[in-house]
Copies of this chain bind each other. A is one copy, B any other.
């Protein structure tokens, strides 16, 4: 920790800071600068109590941490890329994956139609919401267990692995029974109890970025998964909330190189939530592929205008097939399969 003292403080005030630093187990190191005195507090910031509360003292101007707060998700802890294996599909390796399906599971007919279509077009995972977090209590909340069963049925028929959202600690066992990957949604990205419950099922976790989460906070939320003995973590960027109103969210594609730099975990892009507009999805996917994403998570519906949720952002099966074709040359260009 670096502690910057205010100018013109007394010797006694300075001594009090030094004493407190020592009391918390750090070794203080004084540097007298031109305009300010700076104290380096030497000690492991990840194990010692933080000194950030010293900002509360009138003689302290600022306190700056030196170490990063995340450990297990960090590239420092695991210099090579980690991969997550799901029913024979390795995410984070040379092969690129596409996870596709409806926003919500609505009926057997709807789900099977989509599952077959996305399988044919080349997807390896089927996505679909059985439990849906909805802004209003009056909106469709998902089919629940019935939806999970339909997902399992679609998997049995098509061979696609299943990813679906977990939104309650109380459903963790149930959802884990049916799903191959548990998705944690943006509104629950800092619902730490849910993260712990999800991690403990042992299933791979796809952690969406919270709508207003800084990269550091996202990595620390991931740390909740890894520190609960679950090494199978996927980070999924799905757009952040900004002042822009043309799109529903602002998809932050810089998250791809940043996560690759700071962490060893695979990175997935969700362009459907990320833009909220089907007409932008294909372009966003192209960018994601070129920038090194490991997979895409795309919403596909047989008839988006009739969807029970988020119709504006779902692709038709035809558009999805075109997407799969359009990204081929880019995958080749970046050396992915």
Contact = CB atoms under 8 A, between A and B. Distances in A.
Nearest to A195: B137
A275 B290 contact: no
A290 B286 contact: yes
A214 interface: yes
Contacts of A325: none
A305 B56 contact: yes
Nearest to A46: B138
A192 B29 CA distance: 41
Given A191-B191, A283-B257, A33 B243 contact: no
A76 B305 CA distance: 25
Contact of A245 (B44, B54, B245): B245
Interface in A177-218: 187-188, 190-194, 210-212, 214-217
Interface in A285-315: 286-292, 304-308, 311-312, 314
A241 B210 CA distance: 12
A330 interface: yes
B56 A134 contact: no
A33 to B, nearest CB: 5
Interface in A92-107: none
Contact of A240 (B70, B250, B292): B250
Nearest to A278: B56
A333 B327 CA distance: 9
